Copies of this chain bind each other. A is one copy, B any other.
């Protein structure tokens, strides 16, 4: 079942170039799926009572354009399938007359919050959401950290980076990626695709390194990794860009 909601893009959602910020985009995706799930008794609070929580493992974004302040958009989400351990969810942002701006595919696991390990998909919940049992694993790009990166900057996970699950919100990683790019580059380029894989949590107060390589072929691609100080990979990400 596809769930949709209208939303007006606010100034606070946008960067200095009047484009929807990537962290705000991800926050809006989480917001619309929370609304769908909580209406069906499977929202964050319902799951916490059962000792469970969703954790995203990978996103794939395709972006034709990013909305600006005052734009009326339609946010959509749908549980698109599941198998034994993974759940798949699609998201969309389109203009008021239905032109797609952003489409997202994502892969999730359900976590036992106390034991911190994966639990198998809740078959009944998935069926309630109209999600189909998938015979084949949907394919996401295989992302690997590079051996080394040209640009590195340390960041520390701040109090406001935490969500109600006491984790650094996954939307926040995009601030660490985007902040690595030159301000002029961000003025002249718009993201067209994003692939990100989340490997390990970043904890409150932890210092991480945000690492980046910019590669200019036919298209401009930036390769990112978030690493712990000991080099442990926390997340790997690739962003494709087009010149405006």
A residues adjacent to B (C-beta < 8 A): 10-12, 14-16, 18, 21, 23, 27, 30-31, 34, 38, 44-45, 69-70, 158-160, 162-166, 169, 171, 175, 178-179, 181, 183, 186, 204-205
Bound Cα distance from A186 to B18, whole angstroms: 34
A34 CB contacts on chain B under 8 angstroms: 10-11
A10 lies within 8 A of B23 (CB): no
B178 lies within 8 A of A21 (CB): no
A164 lies within 8 A of B21 (CB): no
A160 lies within 8 A of B12 (CB): no
Bound Cα distance from A38 to B166, whole angstroms: 37
Interface centre among A10, A11, A158, A181 (most CB of B within 10 A): A11
A16 lies within 8 A of B163 (CB): yes
A183 lies within 8 A of B159 (CB): yes
Instruction: State the oligomeric state as a number of copies.
Output: 2
A111 → chain B closest CB, angstroms = 16
Bound Cα distance from A15 to B183, whole angstroms: 29
A21 CB contacts on chain B under 8 angstroms: 160
A160 CB contacts on chain B under 8 angstroms: 15, 21, 23, 175, 178-179
A204 CB contacts on chain B under 8 angstroms: 183
A186 lies within 8 A of B159 (CB): yes
Query: A15 and B159 in contact (CB under 8 A), knowing A10-B31, A10-B34, A164-B69?
Result: yes
A25 → chain B closest CB, angstroms = 12
B31 lies within 8 A of A163 (CB): no
A18 lies within 8 A of B175 (CB): no
Interface centre among A10, A15, A16, A18 (most CB of B within 10 A): A16
Bound Cα distance from A241 to B231, whole angstroms: 39
Bound Cα distance from A175 to B11, whole angstroms: 18
A178 CB contacts on chain B under 8 angstroms: 159-160
Can you show 7 pairs from A to B with CB atoms below 8 A apart?
A12-B30, A12-B31, A12-B163, A15-B160, A38-B70, A69-B164, A159-B175
The 9 closest A-B pairs by CB, nearest first: A12-B27, A16-B162, A160-B175, A158-B179, A159-B179, A16-B166, A10-B31, A18-B164, A159-B178
Beyond contacts A11-B163, A38-B70: 13 other A-B pairs, Cβ-Cβ < 8 A, are A11-B30, A12-B30, A14-B164, A16-B162, A16-B164, A18-B164, A21-B160, A23-B160, A44-B69, A45-B69, A158-B179, A159-B181, A160-B175
